[in-house]
Structure 1
C-alpha cells in the first residue's frame, strides 16, 4: 500500500522534535511493505541543517513554502491508499489539511497523526470552527504519539471517529549503546530545545539541580539557549544532531528528561528522548508524569523526580554501578516492549482494519 505522509521533516531534526518518531515509525512501516512518500516544506532552515540523507525506505519530497507548491504536493494524495496529515507541519497547516483531504481519492484511508496532542486539543477547544475540528468526523483515524486515555476521550468528544495512541519508541538500529566520549562527560546531561512550554520546567528541574551541584559538570544540548543565563557549571552545547545522541546519552553519569508543561499535565506522553536514552543503556532521570510506569519501572528502570532537589539528590547518590544497572534494565525493557517494529505492527493492524471503511463505520 502507498502512504502519502505530510509532516514537518524527515531529514532534519533541527527545531523538529518529531524527527526521530517519524524516522522510526516510517522505517518500520516500510519494512512491512508500505511504499512511503514524505512531503515536507522548506521552512525553519531545516534543509540547511539536515542530519540524515534521504533514506532508501521512503521518498522525500521537499516543497517550497508557497501556496502553489502546497497545492501541487496535496494533489499527489490522490495516488495514495493511505493519506496522512501530521500536526505541526510548519507551513499553512490548516490550508494543507483542507487540500490533502480534498485531493485524497475516494476509498483512501485518511489519517490525522498528532505529534503534539495537548497543544492541538487546546487549539480545537478554543476554536469551534477550526478546519481540523470540522473534519474530524470524516477522517478515518486519529493517531497520537502520546496522551493515553485522556487524549483519546478528548478526541472522541470533539467528533473523531477513532483515536489510538501509537507511542514513541526505540529504533535499535539508530539508538543503541556506544563507547562514552570525553566531550560529553559529566554528572548530568539534558537535550531539549528552548520552548515556552518547557523553559520554566527546565529551570525547575535542570538549572535548579545544577545550582545544587556546583562541583559537577552538567551539559545542556538543544537549540535556542544561546542567550539564556546559566550556572557556571553548565556547558551550553547548542543543537546536537541525532548522530551524536548515543554518545551524549551514555557519556554522563545520568541524563535527564524534562517534559513540556502540556505533556506532563496530560500524562502518558513519553518523549522520544526517553526511548533514545534507554536504547543507549543510559541511566535516565525523568520529571514525574502520570503513566511513566506503562513504559519504564520507576526506581529500577528509570529514576523519577518531582523537582530540581530530587534531581540533584538522585545524581549525588548515584554510583557508577547503580547507574549502569538502571540503564541495562531500561535497555532490556525497551528492546522487549517498546520498539518501532512493535509500534508499526500496531499501526499496520489499524490501517488494514480501516482500508475502504468509512469513518462512521470504523467508529462502531
Structure 2
C-alpha cells in the first residue's frame, strides 16, 4: 500500500503528542510492507526542536504553505490511501485539497477527538469543518465508545473507527535506574488539566514535604507557585521517557476535560508509562476500565487523599506488581504493531467498500 500522511509533526515531539504516535504507528505500518510519505508543514517552533533520529521506514518531506503543497499533488493522487491528521495548520484547506486530489481512500485521523468535537460545536473550524467530514471515507478516532456512533450519525462520516494511541515496546521498556521521584507527571501545560495537576500532585506534595515530585513538559506559565519539593523539567525528549518513568515510583495521568466528558480517550502517556512498567495513578473517566483493570493494572484517584493513600500505603512490591501487570496488558493490546494492524484492517475494509458504494450510487442514479 502506498500511504501519504499529512500530520501535525513527525520531526518534533516538542509540545505535542502527535509525533510519537505517528512514529510508532507508521514504523510498524512500514514493517508490514507498506510505503509511506509523511508531509509536514515547515514551522519554526518545530524546526528548532526536531528530535527524530531514525526514519528509514518513512520518507519525510516539508512544505512551506498551501501553494507549496501542490508539489506533492501527483503523489497524493496516486496513493492508495491519504490520511490528514488533526491540528494540521490550515487543516480545512489541506483537507479540501486532499479530497479533490486523491483518487484512493481518504481518512481523517483525529488524535484530539473530544477537543475537535467541542471546537466544531462552538463553530471553531481551526483544522476541520463539518462539511469535510462526509468527504473523508474513514474517520480514525483517538476516542472510541459512543463517540464513534455520534461521528457517523450526527456528523455524516461514512465510517468512524477507533485508532487509539500506543507505545512501542522496543523504545518504551523498564530500566534499572535510581528512583528520583515518588510521583511524576509528564505533559504539556493545558489550562483544563492544571486544576487536576494542582489537586493530585501539587496538593499531595504540600501534604508530604519529605516526598519528591516532578512535573515535566513545556509551556507552563511562569507564575505557577510550585511547592518546594516539586522539580520542574521543561522538556523530556521521547528517547528519555523510559528513564523518566523508571525514576518514578508512580506517575500521574491527567486527562483533558473534553476527553473526560467523552470517555474512551486514553493518552499516549498512559500507554508509554504502562509499557515501562511504571505504576500509573490516573484521574477517572468512562472506558478506562476497559483498557486497564483498576486496582490491578492501574490506580484511580479523584482526590488529593487518594494520591496520598497510594504513596503512603502501597509498598514497593505491590507497586512493581501493578506496573508489571499494566506492562503485560499493554504488550498484548496497546503496542504500535497492534495499532498498525488495526490501521491496515480499517483501510483495507474501507477500500473494499468504496467500489460497492460507487456501484450502488450509480445504480441508484440509473433507477
TM-score past 0.5 threshold: yes
Say what the alpha-carbon RMSD is for the aligned residues: 2.1
Structure 1 residue 83 corresponds to structure 2 residue 65: no
Deviations 1:295-348 (A, max 9, x none): 111001111101222112211212111111111111111112221211211221
Give the match for residue 330 of structure 1: 326
Give the match for residue 162 of structure 2: 165
Number of equivalenced pairs: 356
Give the match for residue 365 of structure 2: none
Q: TM-score scaled to structure 1, two decimals? A: 0.92
Q: TM-score scaled to structure 2, two decimals? A: 0.91
Matched ranges for 1:226-241 at <5 A:
227=222, 228-241=224-237
What residue ranges of structure 1 are gaps of 5+ in the alignment?
none
- Distance in 2, matches of 1:5 and 1:345, equals 17
**One of 137, 148, 155 as aligned partner of 1:152:** 148
Give the match for residue 120 of structure 1: 116
* Secondary structure of 2:121's aligned partner: helix
**One of 120, 129, 134 as aligned partner of 1:132:** 129
Question: What's the CA shift for 1:239?
Answer: 0.7
* Secondary structure of 1:195's aligned partner: coil
Give the match for residue 68 of structure 2: 69
Q: 1:44 to 1:15 in 2, by over 3 A?
A: farther
Give the match for residue 109 of structure 1: 105
Deviations 1:132-176 (A, max 9, x none): 31122231100012x222220221111111000011222111111
- Distance in 2, matches of 1:129 and 1:210, equals 40
Deviates more, 1:340-349 or 1:233-242: 340-349
- Conserved 8 A contact 1:220-1:236: yes
Give the match for residue 15 of structure 1: 15
- Conserved 8 A contact 2:182-2:249: yes
Give the match for residue 193 of structure 2: 198
- Distance in 2, matches of 1:332 and 1:238, equals 31
* Secondary structure of 1:358's aligned partner: helix
Structure 1 residue 26 corresponds to structure 2 residue 23: no
Deviations 1:176-198 (A, max 9, x none): 1112246xx11111001112232
* Secondary structure of 2:45's aligned partner: coil
What residue ranges of structure 2 are gaps of 5+ in the alignment?
361-367
**One of 286, 297, 301 as aligned partner of 2:282:** 286
- Conserved 8 A contact 1:76-1:103: no
Q: 1:282 to 1:331 in 2, by over 3 A?
A: same
- Distance in 2, matches of 1:274 and 1:31, equals 24
Deviations 1:231-252 (A, max 9, x none): 1110001111111100111112
- Conserved 8 A contact 1:177-1:279: yes
- Distance in 1, matches of 2:125 and 2:160, equals 20
